Structure 1
Amino acid sequence: MELRKKIDAILGTVLAIIMGVMVVNVLWQVFTRFVMGVPSSFTDELARYLMIWVGVLGAAYISGRRMHVAIDLLPTKLNKEGQVKLKIFVNIIIILFCLFALVVGGFRLVYITSILKQSSPALQIPLSVVYFVIPISGILIIYYKISDILNKQL
């Protein structure tokens, strides 16, 4: 559980930093557009990529904190043992989804954009860097869900 707390702290800090950079970036965009009359060329693209990172990493963070939205209609109708089995089953489904969609699919996306040498139009950074957050988030969610199952935090 100590490792989990450290990962939570690091992830929370990274998300706060990204949000702070995004706020400053958007303020700069508004300032250059309306005060200076010449909009900054990179701010729109940077805000989009930061929003992607916040959304995807935020999903991992929320998953780790067990604060995600859940429909609890079925669990409330089961006894305690049935609820535990259902939660383990749901966590296994989440692990499988994250493994195939986020980790495997994410690494394939990163690989393809890296091979094709795709870069962003304004910032000229490799798109593989932008997309690398997808497998990172998948790995984090898998870690959290395995930790939940092993520590019976269901």
Structure 2
Amino acid sequence: MELRDRIDKILGKTLILIMSIMVINVLWQVFSRYFLGEPSSFTDELARYLMIWVGVLGAAYVSGKNKHVAIDVLPSKLSEKTQEKLKLIVKILIILFCLFALVIGGSRLVYITYVLQQYSPALQMPLAAVYMVLPISGILIIYYKISDILKNK
């Protein structure tokens, strides 16, 4: 579990860093708009991209901590053995979703935007860098769920 703890720590610090940059960015936007009278041109776009990274990486972090939202009406009415089987099925479905939607689909999106050389309007950064969070998060969630499955056995 040492690797998982290190990943959790790195991911947590990364999320803190991104949120800190986001706060500074928004504060600069407010300052430049109301005190300087000329709003900064890049802050809105940067805040949007940082929010994407925080949301998607945050989902991976919460998934690793098993603190995500879950509806437990059905499982609570089942026997303990059946609950364990249902949890395993749910973890396998999460792995499959992350593999196909986030890792494969996200990688294709990154590749397409890279090949087409799409850049953001204000920051002029490659949109592939923004979308890279999808496969990264998918790999992290898959790792966490496989780790959870192996831990239960």
Whether TM-score is above 0.5 comes out as yes
SS in 1 for 2:119: coil
What residue ranges of structure 2 are gaps of 5+ in the alignment?
none
Q: Structure 1 length as normaliser, TM-score?
A: 0.98
Q: Structure 2 length as normaliser, TM-score?
A: 0.99
- Write out aligned runs for 1:14-53 (5 A): 14-53=14-53
d(CA) in 1 for partners of 2:40, 2:59: 30
Paired residue for 2:136? Answer: 136
Which runs of 4 or more aligned residues in structure 1 lie more than 2 Å from their structure 2 counterparts after TM superposition? none
SS in 1 for 2:85: helix
Q: Deviations over 1:55-90 (max 9, x none)?
A: 000000000000000000111011111010000000
d(CA) in 2 for partners of 1:27, 1:113: 30
d(CA) in 1 for partners of 2:49, 2:33: 20
Give the CA deviation at 1:9: 0.2
For 2:19, the aligned partner's letter is M
Q: Deviations over 1:27-70 (max 9, x none)?
A: 00000001100000000000000000000000000000000000
d(CA) in 2 for partners of 1:61, 1:43: 26
RMSD: 0.8
For 2:8, the aligned partner's letter is D
SS in 1 for 2:107: helix
Paired residue for 1:105? Answer: 105
* Percent of paired sites with the same residue: 71
d(CA) in 2 for partners of 1:130, 1:70: 28
Pairs aligned (count): 153
What residue ranges of structure 1 are gaps of 5+ in the alignment?
none
Give the CA deviation at 1:152: 1.0
d(CA) in 2 for partners of 1:56, 1:130: 11
For 2:26, the aligned partner's letter is V
- Write out aligned runs for 1:58-137 (5 A): 58-137=58-137
For 2:95, the aligned partner's letter is I
d(CA) in 2 for partners of 1:21, 1:123: 15
